[in-house]
Structure 1
């Protein structure tokens, strides 16, 4: 999945299908390096700047150990997602 710049804060992309939010953590503000799912649009976001505070529907999934400058300068960011079947 290729990610495109969005508002000078994050890179976004759309997975092949929407993710389920069953059992997801509470929405929270994203920090630089966070990988999040924005449920209302069905997109993944990789933040290279801190995101807006407590955006409804923004579910932080994890964090990358890369510097914000490194994430912002990258010509292309590609994420590979492995989806496990629901149990």
Structure 2
């Protein structure tokens, strides 16, 4: 997926389809390196700066171990389902 900058805080991309939020994790504030899903828009985001306070609309899915400069300059991401 191609990434674009959003609000000088995160890189966002639109997955091929919306994800289900059934059994979603408890909301938490995103931190640098977090991979998130914003349910209302159906997009993924990688935060290269700490994000806003916790919101039930923003779900943290995982974490990427990279520094902020690498994340802020990322143009593309590939995500695969775990076996």
Shared fold by TM > 0.5? yes
| Equivalent in the alignment of 2:42 | 42
Q: Distance in 2 between matches of 1:31 and 1:11?
A: 13
Please, what TM-score do these two structures have when normalized by structure 2? Answer: 0.89
Query: Is 1:81 matched with 2:83?
Result: no
Mark the runs of 5 or more structure 2 residues left unpaired by the alignment.
Answer: none
C-alpha deviation, 1:69, in angstroms: 2.1
- In structure 1, runs of 5+ residues without a counterpart are none
Q: CA deviation at 1:83?
A: 4.5
Moved over 4 A (4+): none
Per the normalisation by structure 1, the TM-score is: 0.86
CA distance in 1, matches of 2:79, 2:10: 18
